[in-house]
Amino acid sequence: MNFRQISFRMFKSNIRQYYLYIACGSFSTMIFFLFSTIMTNNDFNDSSKIDSMISSNLYAPSLVLAIFSFVFIVYAHNSFIKFRKKDYALFMVIGMTNSNVKKIMVFENILIVIASILSGLLLGTIFSKGFYFIVGKIIGNIDLSINLKSYIYTMIFFVGINMLLILKSYILLTHYKIIELLKNGKLADKNVTGNRIFAVLGVVLIISSIIIPILHNKITGFVLINIATILIGIYLVIANLDWFIMKILKLGKNRYINNLLFVSNLKYKIGSCKNIIFSITLLVVTIVFFISFALTATEVINNNAISYNPYDIAYCNLYGKNGISEELLNKVIKSNDVQLTSIKKLEFIEKNKMTIISNKILNDTVGCNLKVEKGKYISLFQTDINDGYNHHDVEIKNYDINGKTYYSQEKLVKILFNTSPVIRYNYCLIVNNDDYNNIKSRVKVNNDDIGTINLMNFSDWTKTEKITSELNKQLEMYNKNTREFFGKSADKYNFQTRSKIDDYILANRSSTFILFLFCFIFILFFVASNLMIHFKILTEFEGEKIKYKKLNKMGITEKELSNTILKELRIIFLLPCVFGIAIGMYCVCLKFLSADINTNYGIKYSIIAGVIYIMLEFIVYIVYNKQYINKILK
């Protein structure tokens, strides 16, 4: 019997042991494939069909997924190799050379990689219809058909990772001896941090990372440092958890004695599982952070759609564009059920890429009371400081217009009228009315640099979608007979209307899309974290069974063994949830404070995401511990 036949027979006879490893690779491949089909879709990347506000939401989840897929496949492979080392040792015992064993290891791993990738692509293809249906409902009806690139990129990514891992295992297997392979499953991981000095240091790092933002008003530069500090502190606390638990149990003599069996096994268990607990903690942190971020983004950008549009609908006449007649405008408005309550026109001058407005015209139009001295201007920044973005509103101290220098009188950060892509409304110069007329007199007659912003309000802005749609059609038809200014597709975007309803719908689609993507990540991370625990328990199952069998023969009752196992499983399953939710809330608060967002959003949604996760994990813990204890005590 040759090596290929041996590998096939091993694969066939041990399929129940291999299925979990194949399932991990298959599930990761399927999720990655679904994301890659959207990432490589032509319609999705076409800004004329899908707004960049929506398409850009795919980058962060895709990056998180790629990093996770790499780490998870590495972990699953290492766990599988650790599980198989005893079998490799037996091959050597019966006379196989190290080279022969390596060939078997390579061949069986290649079979598993092929099975996991092909099954993942097959599942991805099957579930893609439902996935695209949901995405299409969220972002609009676009062609989300599968393309060849998604298959190629997925295969390159996972084949590349697995080939590197197989090569690593091939090289390392050369240095192993039979006795080392046989003892591998019974050896605990080295726990070099198992002492009280590191335990206290971990607590100090956690406390200091919390105090630093409180002591400094500007925390932007400390965010990454604080997160790194608290993660190091958490790792040290987890690695030395046995020291903390024993200190707590020793507070009561009876409590310590009653848990003597648990305490005696605790140091080995923590040393063996500290990396698993920390890894799952990071997964929970990521879930809590991004779900909270997505839910908060939904609330913030929906509010921004209202705050950045003081008027229900606005469009701009500039460079000879959008000059439809009043009769046609009235016809469009009257063709819909919603009633027009007001319409205003705001004149401005576009000069040297700067928007210049008269203080008198602005006061009369939008109802403000701005006074500007002659020879000076007010720097208007139309931004909302609570919109969740960092703004660098730099005031220009002086500005030359027609050979005359004007000086800044003050800086005003306030939204007075709707923004528009065609002009720089985020920064305008408000000048004295006499200065404005002087500047205007120097502009040639019929010059396209003098424009008008048409501002309209209606009785119910939520019913203005049909009006904006029809108005954009009429503006586009009018602009076809005018010269191209930015280019055909760019003109269509720059000269369209700006309205509350359009921005609200866009914001709602964008926030729903990113929430949908992170819900996928949530499911993936939840499944992966429990698979990691299962891998760990599976590799140590035989050793644990022998240990508890010996303890039972020494007089330890089944009830006492069950209580000990429950306490150990509780640490592995539930402790990462507690740490992860706490750190996730902390990271969300840091991020929101640095972006000047109300932290109440972050705390509220962190708690929601954390409660959902810990409830699901508790259900898995209850189901798993019953089956595991029954198998141990059988």
Residue 157: what pLDDT? 92
The pLDDT of residue 259: 65
Are 177 and 324 found together in one domain? no
Residues 182 and 326 reside in one and the same domain: no
Mean pLDDT of 548-564: 77
Confidence of residue 192 (pLDDT cuts 50, 70, 90): very low
More confident of the two residues 363 and 146 = 363
Query: Domain end: 498, 529, 547, which one?
Result: 498
What confidence tens digit (pLDDT) does each residue in 372-394 have?
Answer: 999 999 988 888 877 766 677 77
For residues 369 and 443, the answer to whether their CB atoms sit within 8 Å is no
Same-domain pairing of 16 and 154: yes
Average pLDDT over residues 502-514: 86
Number of domains in the chain: 2
Q: How many angstroms separate the CA atoms of 471 and 456, rounded?
A: 12
Question: What is the pLDDT, as a whole number, of residue 535?
Answer: 76
Sign of CA dihedral 325, 455, 355, 322: negative
Maximal C-alpha separation, the chain = 105
| pLDDT grade for 121, boundaries at 50, 70 and 90 | very high
Spatial contact of 629 and 545, defined as CB atoms under 8 Å apart:
no
Q: Is residue 584 part of a domain?
A: no
β-pairing verdict for 498-499 and 427-431: unpaired
Q: Return d(Cα 242, Cα 283) in angstroms, integer.
A: 23
Mean predicted confidence (pLDDT) in 519-536: 83
Q: Which helix (H) or strand (E) holds 252?
A: none
pTM of the model: 0.75
pLDDT above 70 for 597: no
CA distance 440 to 444: 8
Q: Looking at 123, 152, 187, which one is the last position of a domain? A: 187
Query: Is 28 a domain residue?
Result: yes
pLDDT band for position 10 (50/70/90)?
A: low
Each residue of 223-235: pLDDT tens digit?
667 777 888 888 8
What share of the chain has pLDDT > 70, as a percent? 82
Q: Is residue 141 part of a domain?
A: yes
CA 299 to chain centre: 16
Task: Look at the block and give the residue holding tokens 């019974």.
Answer: 186
In a domain, residue 556? The reply is no
pLDDT digits (tens, 9 = 90+) for 426-446: 678 999 999 999 888 887 655
- For the segment 39-44, the average pLDDT, to the nearest whole number, is 80
Residue 409 has pLDDT above 50, yes or no: yes
Per-residue pLDDT tens over the stretch 157-188: 999 999 998 888 888 776 666 555 555 555 54
- pLDDT of residue 84 exceeding 80: no
Is the same domain home to 18 and 150? yes
Residues, the chain: 634
- Helix (H, G, I), strand (E, B), or coil: what is residue 284? helix
* pLDDT surpassing 60 at residue 70: yes
- Looking at the structure, do residues 183 and 314 belong to the same domain, yes or no? no
Computed on alpha carbons and rounded to an integer, the radius of gyration of the chain in Å comes to: 32
What is the rounded CA–CA span in Å between residue 616 and residue 602?
21
Residue 175 is predicted with a pLDDT of: 65
pLDDT digits (tens, 9 = 90+) for 294-322: 888 777 788 888 888 899 999 988 888 88
Mean pLDDT calculated for residue range 41-52: 75
- The domain containing residue 182 runs over which residues? 1-187
Q: Tell whether the model's pLDDT for residue 455 goes beyond 90.
A: yes
- Per-residue pLDDT band for 156 (boundaries 50, 70, 90) equals very high
* Lowest-confidence segment of 12-26, 254-268, 509-523 by average pLDDT: 254-268
Residue 293 lies in a domain: no
Alpha-carbon torsion (130, 131, 133, 134), positive or negative: positive
Q: SS in 3 state form for 411-477? A: EEECCCCCCCCCCCCCEEEEECHHHHHHHHHCCCCCCCCEEEEEEEEECCHHHCHHHHHHHHHHHHH
SS3 content of the chain, % helix, strand, coil (to 5): 70, 10, 20
pLDDT of residue 56: 79
Q: Which of 187, 217, 252 is the last residue of a domain?
A: 187
Does 280 reside within a domain? no
Q: What is the pLDDT of residue 257?
A: 61
Average pLDDT, the chain: 80
Better-scored residue on pLDDT, 48 or 410 = 410
404-413: strand order across its sheet: 398-401, 404-413, 376-381, 427-431, 354-358, 340-351, 450-458, 313-317, 498-499
pLDDT at 542 > cutoff 80: no
Q: Is residue 273 part of a domain?
A: no
For residue 109, CA distances in Å to 22, 154, 167, 620 come to 10, 18, 11, 30
